[in-house]
Structure 1
Amino acid sequence: MDDPVVSDPGTPFARALRAAVARRGLPLQRLSSRLAERGLPLSPATLSHWQRGRSQPERGDSLAALTALESILGLDEGELSGLLGPQRPRGRSVTPPESPAVLRRLYGTGSTQEAALGGAAFREFNTGLRALTVRDTLVLDESRCVRRVLVQQVVRASRPGVDRLTVVHEVDDPRSLPVDVHVRCGRLGEVRCDPAVSCAVVEVLFGRPLRVSETAIVEYELAIDDCRTPSLFHERSVRPGLRELLLHVRFHPAALPLRCHRYHRPAADGPRGRLRRVELDASHTAHLLPGRCTVGFHGLAWQWPR
């Protein structure tokens, strides 16, 4: 069974599904039978709930059925699944995942992010965007310092008119500021560096305002010079709705850590929990790919030999 959502027949997923079913001209009972023939039982009632915005596919069997449904309806793969909203908690009152209240619960008060952005900008910190996938790659040198950070994000607009992504990157050594930013997908906007909080605030422009539910891909690289402080960890904040997170750390062959582990903490001021050892691979890299992107901070940490 899929989790209930606030009934809204106007959600992008519900609208697109209704339109596709109408074009195909198949009754829900027939669609249910076609899915069953593929070993993917799904009741007409569930299909009706999807069309009316009363629920959405969120679990493995339902998502598999949705992929088959796209094929049956003559749609491209991902044409419907790409419109799914974030997983919703049960209950009547749902806080939007990009709301200021979620930001406050995640970062707390007096966070580095708030200090770097300023109070007004922090309250609007990407509030019109929902991250779908985030992939970070850190490249460390033989002095144990981060030299490059490569980032790729896929985001979706939750309201019309959003035209940029704002990111806050903390550096290990404030002397390495300012950083060089190279944007491969998108266009570089304003870059502000604040040595007092060891942060670089970077805007990546989409090139035009997005429509509701429209997605954008952002890809950029930070080049960090004059860093003299060895790196000890890398982490990412996760808001509700993130589907995939990949953290990838490349260690220099001449500077390998003694051990590396993954962790999660529910908020910026929370302790690290869910510690688990991570082994380096043949290329001297470690990575984190959580099966579920739980809200909070996911990270990799390592210890250096003395």
Structure 2
Amino acid sequence: MVSRVRGMGEREFADVLRAAIQARGLGLERIRERLLAQGVSVSLATLSYWQSGRSRPERRDSLAAVELLEAVLEVPNGTLSASLGPPRRRGRWLSTVPDRPELAAYWPRPDAVEEAVSGVDIRWDERLTRISQHDRVFIGPDRGERAYHSRQVLRAEADGPDRWVVIMHLDEHDRPLPEIRPLRHCRLGRTVRRPADGLLVAELLFDRPLRKGETVITEHELVNVPPYPPATNYERKFRLPVREFVLELCFEPGQVPASCVGFSQLDDEDELVRPVDVEAEVHGVVLNFGPGRYGFRWTWPE
């Protein structure tokens, strides 16, 4: 088993928070309710991660929540924030993002995503540099999303990374969740299926743990079952930057959209939209992208 190595600032924050919670005698649910009463939503999973040292607050909204948390726990102002220390650095590429979004930042229901990923191991997420990601989306003649094929190249920034976590969300929650199939250099680990939230979370385990500086190329696919989700959009969310992202839409000949736009949104910036020529295959390429979201939206002829 590979143990997680945490930075001094992270240990201090977790230790200080845990001691403050114990001294105050409040459960995480009560703490969450008191924060919510002041207009700040922090999930139970996030609070649990913070006190265990699994993650720490880094985004502006999270740091604002820490200030309110000090009041809820009745500790002097600055007690928790001072224990955070400087932003973590995770290698040459990841260190360019000092204020990294939290795991569920770009999802429509962050709390549901955080609760789902609590059932898998995400400890290595920030120790893997996203060198390349290539997604292919296959749309059937019935205008439904049939499958998604993903190829990625990752580099370890520390000894030990042994898995990649996939998060899939369906807009229509009454549809069956897709099946995930490992294809190259990975096998399926733990999976969390939450049909009511349209969420699938799965671990893809590498052939072996990586050493610092090693790269791995993995491929997997997500295959939908009938009734297929209506295909009107696809996007990839990047919590951490990717050096290259390629996105392909593969339509059936004779069944192409009436119009299509590409969109991108970097963290805390306005969404950018551009028209795209409609063909049987539509693709987009971005370099040094993220944190943020990138994808396509399209409409079908009536």
TM-score by length of 1: 0.61
Q: Which runs of 5+ in 2 are unaligned?
A: 1-90
CA distance in 2, matches of 1:108, 1:135: 20
CA 1:108 to 1:201, structure 2 compared with 1: closer, same or farther past 3 Å?
closer
C-alpha deviation, 1:203, in angstroms: 1.3
Tell me the equivalent position of 1:294. 290
1:277 matched to 2:275 = yes
2: CA distance, partners of 1:191 / 1:275: 34
Structure 1 unaligned runs (5+)?
Answer: 1-83
Q: Which has the larger radius of gyration?
A: 1
- SS state at 1:261 partner: strand
Residue equivalent to 1:263 = 263
Say if 1:265 and 1:227 are closer, same or farther in 2 by CA, change over 3 A. Answer: farther
Q: In the alignment, which residue of structure 2 is the partner of 1:154?
A: 153
What's the CA shift for 1:208? 1.4
Q: How does 1:33-44 map to 2 (within 5 A)?
A: none
Q: What is the deviation of 1:125?
A: 7.0
What residue is the counterpart of 1:221 in the other structure? Answer: 221
2:232 counterpart of 1:245: no
Shift of 1:106: 4.1
Q: Does 1:86 align with 2:93?
A: yes
- Structure 1 equivalent of residue 300 of structure 2: 304
Is the Cα contact below 8 Å between 1:133 and 1:155 reproduced in 2?
yes
Deviation at 1:278, TM superposition (A): 1.1
- Residues 109 and 262 of structure 1, relative CA distance in 2, 3 Å threshold: closer
| 1:102 counterpart SS class | coil
What does residue 167 of structure 2 align with? 168
Is the aligned partner of 1:135 residue 2:139? no
Retained in 1: the 8 A contact 2:107–2:113?
A: no
Alignment deviations for residues 121-179 of structure 1 (CA, whole Å, 9 cap, x no partner): 69747233221111100001122111111000111112221111011011244444342
- Name the residue aligned to 2:204: 204
RMSD: 2.8
Give aligned-pair identity as a percent.
26
Asked if the contact 2:103/2:114 (under 8 Å) is kept, the reply is no
TM-superposed deviation, 1:217: 1.0
- Tell me if the contact between 1:116 and 1:168 (Cα under 8 Å) persists in the aligned partners: no
Deviations 1:60-113 (A, max 9, x none): xxxxxxxxxxxxxxxxxxxxxxxx931755xxxx73x8xxx5326943894253
Contact 1:114 1:122 in 2 (8 A): no
Matched residue type, 1:251: F
Residue 156 of structure 2 contacts residue 210 of structure 2 at CA under 8 Å; is this kept in 1?
A: yes
Give the count of matched residue pairs.
Answer: 210
Work out whether residues 173 and 228 of structure 1, in 8 Å CA contact, stay in contact via their aligned partners in 2: no
Amino acid at match of 1:294: G
Q: For the structure 1 residues 202 and 244, does the alpha-carbon distance in structure 2 shift closer, same or farther, using more than 3 Å as the test? A: same
